[in-house]
Chain A
């Protein structure tokens, strides 16, 4: 008979639940920060990011055994969150800016002699351009360039083919390069060659 699952019949169900809860709690405490960053880059505002992270983890809680069975738990949870975002359950404005009383500006560390104002303005322009991208394009960009995932893993997270990921990224970069003049680089050129 093939093994279709594992059931620890010797364990005390209450203890098992307690252990699962402890591991879930540990994951939440340790990983919410990084998930929140990803969610923020996807949703582009704090409240929606919080909601996305919370809803995703609450939804996964009864399915935590599946998460624990995954080879890479964080990737599993992140994939679920990205899919939740793309599924349209989140109807959030990509261009929302939320006033945050604690915001004191970016801590900018720039070499002397550079025009920091111009650079900040250019960054704002690029951030706005990121808001123009489709949700799938933005998700691909965040996974590829924020998490440094290879195309294959981005494809896995987005449930699509590698070629589709490259197409999404190339179109996104084509949009983003209008936000300034940039030096050539191999990575960007690789994707931009594929613009169709």
Chain B
């Protein structure tokens, strides 16, 4: 449970195969084909980037720690595996997931404060009445079957920091890679320690030249990973290859001895590469407009 990911509800109920996840989402779409045609939305990852940026704004206003934002992002993902986004007011879901995650991560914010800040960020979509968030909280918890304890890769990263003798730069980069993985489906597809190992590998292999990451690792990594990604993946798979530098070699050695699923790690890396590619096309304006139209036309904000 809480210390034991293997017995956790996260592993038992919120871990999907790619096929299963696609099936779940198809089911949502089939529920309302009309709305899907009527209200096109950007790629899920684009929406995730948008949601994450909005949550970060809310988090900044309330000085909330990253882990609570990460938990909120997981709640949003879980919720939308059970509900068609086109039937919801995503801004209300965002604010509520944030409010609930803060309580769960033991850094609670008063509901009035959350509603107030959310309203100042998205005045057109959040009602002044706190009962909307209170009601949406019931909805979120119910859809998640009260399974609200989330295991994050940050913990594994912290635990492996010493064992793998990671530098603070590497930890910072790995940390921001973990931040980025919430923009993908990876949290629903892989165990947190697999994500953490992926983040460490990426950080060690693509040690970026520029220091100081804030939030995302995308700017520093996107190019490097695209250019060097193939080499790294080869290196990981080819344990006898003489190519990689000693530091990477050492990491590969550790990986081989650990029981981490290397194929899963490779898959996660590819997912991240593809996220950074998609990101280049990201337009906040586009997300905002499409969501606005979807919410307003259907009067989901009322």
Q: Are chains A and B native binding partners rather than an unrelated pairing?
A: no
